[in-house]
Amino acid sequence: MSESTRVVVVGAGAIGSFYGAILKRAGCHVSVVLRSEYEAVKAEGFQIDSPLGDLSYRPDGVYRDGDTPEHEADYVICCVKVLPSIDRAALIKPWVGENTRIVLIENGIDIEREVADALPDNPVISCLAFIAVSRVAPGKIEHKAFGALTMGAWPEGITDDCRDIAARFEAGGIDVKLSEAVVGERWRKSLWNTPFNPLSVLAGGADTVTLLDTPGGEDLARAMMAEVCAVAAADGYPMPESAIDKNIAGTRKMPAYRNSMALDYLNGRPMEIEAILGNVVDIAHHLNVEVPRLETMRVAFSMRDVLAEKQA
Ligand SMILES: NC(=O)C1=CN([C@@H]2O[C@H](COP(=O)(O)OP(=O)(O)OC[C@H]3O[C@@H](n4cnc5c(N)ncnc54)[C@H](OP(=O)(O)O)[C@@H]3O)[C@@H](O)[C@H]2O)C=CC1
Ligand SMILES: CC(C)(CO)C(=O)C(=O)O
């Protein structure tokens, strides 16, 4: 394994700076592309407090969106939020060369297609992060727990590229599960994110304990999960019925936790409603699956957007 693998992390927020630190520990040359935190990171690097130890580091290159790369990257890792306002393909394109592999570490369903369509000659590796990490100040990151990645080639399979980048994450101290069917893995994660993320926002930024302990809360989460299961099955990725019980039991075991969307809401940042909820509803419509609760939530969020536009 070459020590000088060049990695460019586009959107080095909580997830990007953390997994950049892991690849740096594994001996990769890690550059980052930033927006609002450019000055802070250029001056001081990242300070990352983690149960894995002090992961603070100075990236080998610190760039802004619009800068010109000096070298071709082996891997471009895209970690921006999946938002309608961000053209992710346009954002990563300047950093992608002929031999660059594109790695997406982002939440959501069917989020790969727009990138793969715009950059058809570069392989896409799709990753799911099971981690609790957040930005606490410019360049300062708090890693609270977990960190494992699940990944596979998109739309399916495990390629040598997947094995190569997985080995680097593992060398940096992270568990990686390689999957032949990463779209199915996305559905399994969506089983949690699609109900819990938007619910926590509608509940004013509520944590998991509040959501489940509110009378009717667990029933609502379960009913929304059942809708996600039905869409996933119609899309060709059935999940066992026990998956819902397992997710609820696992969530009840966790200390009170605010997911990334709840944190975005509380910090006044844009939220990944379409990637996590809207795309599931669109697929349900396309496959004629009834998802009344998910649909209600999506329309309620659209109302917020319409109101915000009127007030702007
Ligand atoms: N945080 C978590 O615990 C988890 C997050 N995820 C997923 O990971 C993905 C990333 O989330 P997270 O790291 O929390 O999000 P953050 O908001 O912390 O990071 C996103 C980063 O992208 C940057 N960015 C946005 N637009 C641009 C641009 N044009 N040029 C350069 N940088 C840009 C943002 O900069 P700026 O500061 O200017 O906005 C920010 O630094 C999401 O899909 C999320 O759902 C998945 C599991 C857990
Ligand atoms: C599953 C969870 C809660 C952390 O991995 C997540 O994906 C999020 O915070 O959005």
Q: What is the domain partition of the chain in residue ranges?
A: 6-180, 184-311
Q: Are 72 and 94 in contact (CB under 8 A)?
A: no
* 285 alpha carbon, distance to own chain's centre: 24
Give the model confidence (pLDDT) of 128-154 as tens digits: 999 999 999 999 999 999 999 999 999
Phi, psi of 210 (to 5 degrees): -60, -45
Question: How remote is the CA of residue 79 from the centroid of ligand 1, in Å?
Answer: 6
- For residue 30, CA distances in Å to 6, 35, 50, 109 come to 6, 17, 19, 28
CA atoms of 174 and 235, how far apart (whole Å):
31
Backbone angles phi, psi at 105, to 5 degrees: -115, 90
What is the 140 CA–ligand 1 centroid distance (Å)? 13
CA distances from 75 to 31, 49, 95, 100 (A): 11, 25, 9, 5
Sequence letter at residue 293: R
Q: What CATH number does the domain located at 6-180 have? A: 3.40.50.720
Query: On the CB side of 267, how many CA atoms lie within 13 Å of its CA?
Result: 14
Per-residue model confidence as pLDDT tens digits over 245-293:
999 999 999 999 999 999 999 999 999 999 999 999 999 999 999 999 9
Query: pLDDT for 141-190, tens place per residue?
Result: 999 999 999 999 999 999 999 999 999 999 999 999 999 999 999 999 99
| Confidence band of 1 (pLDDT split at 50, 70, 90) | very low
CA–CA gap between residue 238 and residue 228 (Å, rounded): 10
Contact 77 CB / ligand 1 (< 6 Å): no
In a mutational test of the pocket of ligand 1, which residue from 32, 81, 151, 259 has the highest number of ligand atoms less than 8 Å from its CB? 81
Q: Is the pLDDT of residue 3 over 60?
A: no
Q: Count of CB atoms within 10 A of residue 137's CB?
A: 10
Ligand 1 contact via 264 beta carbon (within 6 Å):
no
Q: Are 283 and 235 in contact (CB under 8 A)?
A: yes
Distance CA 49, CA 53 (A): 7
In CATH, what class is 184-311? mainly alpha
pTM of the model as a whole:
0.97
8 Å CB contact between 157 and 185: no
Dist. CA 87–CA 5, nearest whole Å: 26
**Is residue 198 a contact partner of residue 255, using CB atoms and an 8 Å limit?**
no
